[in-house]
Homo-oligomer: A and B are copies of this chain.
Amino acid sequence: MSPKITTELLKQLRQVMKSPKYVQEPVQAYIVPSGDAHQSEYIAPCDCRRAFISGFDGSAGTAIVTEQHAAMWTDGRYFLQAAQQMDNNWTLMKMGLKDTPTQEDWLVSVLPEGSKVGVDPFIIPADQWKRMSKALRSAGHDLVPIKENLIDTIWTDCPQRPCKPLITLDLSYTGVSWRDKIVALRSKMAERKVLWFVVTALDEVAWLFNLRGSDVEYNPVFFAYAVIGMNTIRLFIDGDRMTNPAVREHLQLDSTLEPEFKIQVMPYGSILSELQAVGAGLSPKEKVWLSDKASYALTEAIPKAYRYLTPYTPICIAKAVKNASETEGMRRAHIKDAVALCELFNWLEKEVPKGTVTEIIAADKAEEFRSQQKDFVELSFATISSTGPNGAIIHYKPVPETNRTLSVNEIYLLDSGAQYKDGTTDVTRTMHFGTPSAYEKECFTYVLKGHIAVSAAIFPNGTKGHLLDSFARSALWDCGLDYLHGTGHGVGSFLNVHEGPCGISYKTFADEPLEAGMIVSDEPGYYEDGSFGIRIENVVLVIPAETKYNFKNRGSLTFEPLTLVPIQTKMIDVNLLTQKECNWVNDYHQKCREVIGAELERQGRHEALRWLVQETEPLIRVQ
């Protein structure tokens, strides 16, 4: 992977930062956040402005360009990747390390007195704006909104914003109609005494209307906003997507409806002016509910006194708790996904020794097997197919320049998943196709112990996920090992593979308490730079647990793995497992054999079935 040469681009950006054509006053720094106007994690090519200016295309990172400097903040998953993709114009700011300055502190340390710092108000979330603006102001600088995105002004071949057809989801997939979702939302609005709710996150719009799209790769969403009043529904969406009869029927656009369920369709670009009109028409005590992560531009459209901001919207919280139809869909999706992976790993076992399988070929093969499954839509994220040292690049994606050939001498890590119409998957397995070293097995076993510690954890109702993070690390910590990423994230139901408001992380973000029906990943890892990466990831469902004393009727929770793919026993040092952990592995493999075995049989995939049976032989621990 050779770095992108950015000297000329930075020169151009620094010119427009001073050009009266684009800025009222010159700005001494310009911030290029990761996201789009919906604060999406995965973004359309036209929104990849940070990657365009810096070369670094990981999923998280913020670039800041001043007259003298260019700096990139990203987290532990991306330290290696960012270092490889950026040229010497850029300084990498490793977030999470003690000596790394915050963006604000760094700006204050490099800016001349009384500087202006520019940012696109549609791209920066309101909470970030507030924090940064305050910090800059207290040091004598100003954060200023720049209406025209300055990257777009120098990005001559910027791709068009996508506008692809929509998919409608019926009740068998969603469990709840969009009308009932609107009713529930309005009841939450009434509880909080707000009159309007602004839906800004793309997955929230998709979930609310039981629609899916494909405007953004991997995430089945479409560019839209919605503004829900107590008696009105406005959907801001472009293109001819609303002419599709199935969509019109689904949204009942041509039916005679009670007025409060009549959807007004408006152009995507009119959201700001419409919201400003809403804001201007408010009486005292009338409130508008927005996520505090909504863009600064939309937040400012509502006068401060009328804003009701929360870290998580009622849609985000409702969406996280899957109903019976969604849970069953997720189970089905994970069974199909496991079938595809059994096929893949069986194929790899045979092909890798021949020396002809590269990371890209393996990733493509995984996609091929997945695409044979019913209701397959697309991948849920870029497949991380990495062998040897590439495995240590936590969010690695193989490209021709880095593409390594799988061999019997290196560890292979595959983190992959798919969107099926009934659910979203995300699974990581770490395999060795030859004989792993004692050290590799040792590290793998610690990671496995951490995986089991979370998966088998029992905890009281109302526990926040971050309280479980250390369980995943304890076995690694005992030997002086750790990993620089969180342990788990929420997973959508045929929606974004990363979603809030719950997760399992050492970062004490404001996560919502775990409750039965939520779905998260459990994915501890260990990474040895330059050598290998290990990660074991299942998607798990929060379920009620049975405990002896049941927390004085507060109720107990635990996890049920939805992912049912064998964990390579060859990589396990059985003597490092307790009997309880050993039983967990055997029970898990027994379930894989039963559930996935039956599906492999049904699909007539006999060779993969033989592989599954062989890979799920019980471990025996010598006492």
Provide the A131-145 mask, 1 if CB < 8 A to any CB of B, else 0.
000000010100000
Report yes or no: B474 in contact with A471, Cβ–Cβ below 8 A: yes
A251 → chain B, closest Cβ, in Å?
A: 35
Which residues on the B side are within 8 Å of A468 (C-beta)?
470
Report the contact-size class of chain A (Cβ under 8 Å from the partner).
Answer: 20 to 34
Chain B's closest residue to A96 (CB) is B462
Contact B548 A479 (CB under 8 A): yes
> When A471-B470, A471-B474, A508-B466 are in contact, do A480 and B305 touch as well, CB less than 8 Å?
no
The yes or no answer to A523 lying at the interface (CB within 8 A) is no
A479 contacts across to B, CB distance below 8 A: 547-549
A282 within 8 A of B: no
Docked-complex contact B458 and A551, CB < 8 angstroms = no
B478 and A547 contacting across the interface, CB-CB below 8 Å: yes
- Chain B residue nearest to A623 (CB atoms) is B623
Q: Tell me which of A138, A305, A462, A554 has the highest count of chain B C-beta atoms within 10 A of its own C-beta.
A: A138
Q: Inside 8 A of A550's CB, which chain B residues have their CB?
A: 480
The answer to whether A506 touches B547 (Cβ under 8 A) is no
**Contact A551 to B467, CB < 8 A, known contacts A285-B140, A457-B474, A462-B98:** no
Q: Which residues of B contact A337 (CB under 8 A)?
A: none
- B98, B477, B508: the one contacting A457 at CB < 8 Å is B477
Q: Give the residue of B138, B480, B547, B554 whose beta carbon is less than 8 angstroms from that of A548.
A: B480
Instruction: List A residues 522-559 near B (Cβ within 8 Å).
Output: 547-551, 554, 556
B482 near A460 (CB under 8 angstroms)?
yes
1/0 contact trace for A296-311 toward B, CB 8 Å?
0000000001000000
A412 CB within 8 Å of chain B: no
Most chain B beta carbons < 10 A, residue from A305, A457, A549, A578: A549
Interface residues of A (CB under 8 A from B): 98, 138, 140, 285, 305, 457-460, 462, 466-471, 473-474, 477-482, 506, 508, 547-551, 554, 556, 578
**Sampled A-B contacts (21; CB under 8 Å):** A138-B305, A457-B474, A457-B477, A458-B477, A459-B470, A460-B477, A460-B482, A467-B469, A470-B471, A477-B547, A477-B556, A479-B548, A480-B547, A480-B548, A480-B550, A480-B551, A480-B556, A481-B549, A482-B551, A508-B508, A578-B578
